[in-house]
Structure 1
Amino acid sequence: MRDQIEQKLALLPDLPGCYLMRNRDNEIIYVGKAKNLKNRVRSYFRGAHDTKTTKLVSEIHHFETIVTNSNKEALILEINLIQKYKPIYNIRLKDGTMYPYLKITNERDPELIITNVVKKDGGIYFGPFPNVYAATNTQQLLHRVYPLRRCPKNEKRACFYYHLNQCIGPCDHEVSVETYQEQINRIKRFFNGDVSEIKKDLTAKMHTAAEKLEFELAADYRDQLDYIDTTLERQNVMSQDYDNMDVFGYTYDRGWLSIQVFMLRQGSILKRKAAIFPCYSEPEEEVTTFIARFYHEQNHIKPKGILVQSDVDHETLSEVLEISVHTPLRGKKRSMLELCEKNSKLALDEKFRLDENNQRKTIGAVTELAELLNIEQANYIEAFDHSNIQGTDSVSGMVVYRDGKPERKSYRKFKIKTVEGANEFAHTQEVIRRRYTRLLREEKPLPDLILMDGGKIQIRAARDVLENELGLSIPIAGMVKDDHHKTASLMDGYSEEILEVDRRSQAFMLIQRIQEEVHRYAISYHRQVRSKSHFASELDQIEGVGPVTRNKLLKHFKSLKRMKEASIDEYRKLGIPQSTAERVIQTLNEAK
């Protein structure tokens, strides 16, 4: 296959277009675009790459290309291909994160509604708003001062809102198109920052209401004025040049791309959007694609213009989005772009710091633990704990940690089958025997370390089975607890020596997490078994309910409460005679 890829690389054209990387199952795993397909695609198979790109390249089985007439066509095609195939290595812009907008509908009697879906339907959209609460407050304000239709279209008489002067009244009389347009123009001026007229009107109404001693109404007008002052008027610290503009800043480092978007509306930063994702292409081209998809896939309303860094493809973006694209060199706009870029860098630095912290908590902790026990490695750990009440309903739980992280899909539960009563030594022997006999039989990897939630008893039992029965020499250690049932120290499984662990070390914290997790898992399983056992004992006392009927009832109803509340017909559908069903319901309802 490598020879086939080399042959295709030699035939690539020096033209713009898109390339589609496919895996062995012929699934598209990555889509990219290039001004020069030959140079770009060849770069994936030449030279060294960072870890993430190396992983992508390792999964490429073959590729295909689509030539376009221009870089603009390549960008549009790339967006459509990503949206259609959703490749796993392309960034996925999350759905459901749209901000609310106010919309004047495109119809004979328009209304003002809240929506988070922007469509090309002829409607007039205002926003976005930072949240639904802000959009609702603005909508209610406009209903009071510049009302449009609020009633349903099929109303035959004046609606309630009309009598409150919050509906223009098409249900009561025909409203001309000119009247609607006048109201719409007022709303537009309002959103453009011309709030003097509405403030003057509200102030007059507030004084009139106060003179009439209608203080609640006056307070309502006062609150509307406060809302305008605090939310809708322009902030003096911002330039009016910022109106209706989006700013995109990015930082690229260690194979990761961080993008920040400032959405500027009404002279202030309304909302910030951030994205951090692995970069498999040239960062400036990934940013270009991100910006185009930002408006294409998520239906954000395009502003009058956008500000971007100098290496982003201005010409292509301007052609695709049909808006102005600039890189300011000085002034307040330049400061805003630098602020956006600074935020992207801070976000990426924060990600790297968190990654380093997680690395210390996981890989670092695993390394410390291996050094403490003097073993080669402890990347794959299996830990066991037992749970019972005075020897009844005995169970065990096993949790798995890989590279210091829980691997929940590999957790296992064990119900003790061969031992009666409280015998931790025998319990441990049975569980260890069952677990590792199966791994050997299925030829699956063995763990680097086995941790027992306990001391010498569990360690000796596990070691006896592993060494004497199975011929295995897997490192074992015991997680010893103090008088308060908290993690205290570690016991070496062979020397049975207590190893003092620094409580501030990552190794100790890992042992603590594992011990708490395996204890939680074993206890929760024991509660399930005990609950089922209780159900079974209750049913066994009822005449006519044998093992088969009991299991059938438990499997279908799950709980005694549901059995009490079920109808006779539901029992009969399970093949249970009516007389038996009646006895079950009666007995359970009479029980305390």
Structure 2
Amino acid sequence: MSGFDISAFLKTLTQRAGVYRMYSADQQLLYVGKAKNLKNRVSSYFRSRGLNTKTVALVSGIDYIEVTVTASEAEALLLEQTLIKQHRPPYNILLKDDKSYPYLHLSDHAFPLLAYRRGKRSSRGGQYFGPYPNSAAVREALNYLQRLFLLRSCEDSYFNHRSRPCLQYEIKRCSAPCVGLVSEEDYRRDIYHASLFLNGQNQQLMQNLQQQMLDASGGLNFERAAEIRDRIELLRQVQEKQRVDSGNKDADVWALLEYENVICIHRLAFRQGRLVSSKNYYPDNPAGEEHADLLLGYIGQFYLSDFAAEGMPAELIVDAAADEIAVVQEALRLRFERIVRHSRGVRGEPRQWRAMAEDNARSGAQAKISGHQVARKKLAQVAELLRLVRPPARIECFDISHSKGEATYASCVVYDHEGLAKKRYRRFSIRGVTPGDDYAALEQAVTRHLTRLKEQNDLPDLLMVDGGKGQVARIQQVLLELEISTVALWGISKGETRKSGWEFLWEAGARQPIIPDAHDDGFRLLQLVRDESHRFAITGHRKQRAKSRGRSELEDLQGVGPKRRRALLLHFGSLKNMRGAPREEIARVPGVSQKLADQIFVQLHGE
């Protein structure tokens, strides 16, 4: 910051709301920010301590700062997003989306076609439904609609030249209007029902179908009544799968989660009580903003930049304080001349929606980590941390799980250039060792595994064990006996505090461990692999323990006694159905609170 006297600048800075712009020596705009108090906000960038590395990098490139005072923080937010769109500063969150949203299109025809469409909607007539988050969501909706309402899926050129029904009619996916097997009136009725479904008016649709079934039954047309009955059952299954039918509520739900340095923001859009959009966003955070500020800043830019293809919601559900999000609400009121309510989603259906958004954000961050480029980068960071000659192409990690020696199980999980390679996971039921002897159990599992891999000439580059110096020494002896010298061996053990981030790394033959930086990306990858092996081992152990005791796994669920266990079985019918149910469905069982449902869900899925 040559020539820039920051102390003198801060002394003259106002405490009013406004926008600040940070420039480099070559007059490049680096960052645009808004503030309720310009002096306090800008001063925070120049503290002597407490700044993260990204903020330090930004500050080191600043040559001068310009400010614009506004009448309110909401106006500052409007100006901020305008400047960001205009100049696209490198340290700001930049919203990008290079594809148009996919829609379902109902054509203008005597027998309308319902089809997948992208691009400009003005180029065709008819009616559009959507937008949908991706093409897979559109095709899934089409699949359900064809099964429910037997709508045609062929283009007009094909439709106009048919002389007999096609295969879609034979497999009951179309009513064959092309050859007159359904009247125009009946087909229009099916189109009307499909429109109700797509607009989220499922209750009205269900009532209409039930009345049709009663009319057909009263008219002794039992085959028609049975067809409608099957449609009603399929519709119920679809509604249960979506779990989003809640009257006419219009709301957007937001959640942010950071996992292994990857930030994922997830948005769920509900219109008329039905989920119409679900999408992940991966913003950079070059200025090192706090998560709450980052999320609210992103939400403001999202709506003010017209990225909400479904239109403005009536309510925002986001875990933020009312005074913090009030600025966003005021900015939306000024821009769109409408009031958007706010809820933190702490009870009822909004709580379920917020949990859904958080789960999707977590899955999105984990999926991003599993990408090829990220995985290769992390493997290179592991090589740097462990001083390996080259990055490992494959890491395998072992862990042991048992209950006082009962049902001992070992797990082996794999991480390669594609991320967690779950198809290569293995479990080992341990036999013939003294109960509780983790050393012997680990030795047996590793020996069995490496013997097979050596025969297949498919050895890993790095072998990790969940343990310290003793476990590593035992496995080092196994490698010597099997005459394997190409596999690097390391152990990862928790320190005296048993807290994550305080682990030791033990190299084979070393007397002292490595104590890595808790924020090292290579170390975080090793933690991830270790935690995954622990989870996988516990899951196998619990199944084996329940089997050996000749009883249901439900009996091992903490907080579930005979009465609740019976209620769970009556509600779900089987443990398999229970595993496939969401948390909200478990909470509907009599006697099961939401807190207990969360605990049961976690235990069933080995998390």
TM-score class normalised by the smaller sequence: 0.3 to 0.5
* TM-score calculated relative to the size of structure 1: 0.47
* TM-score calculated relative to the size of structure 2: 0.46
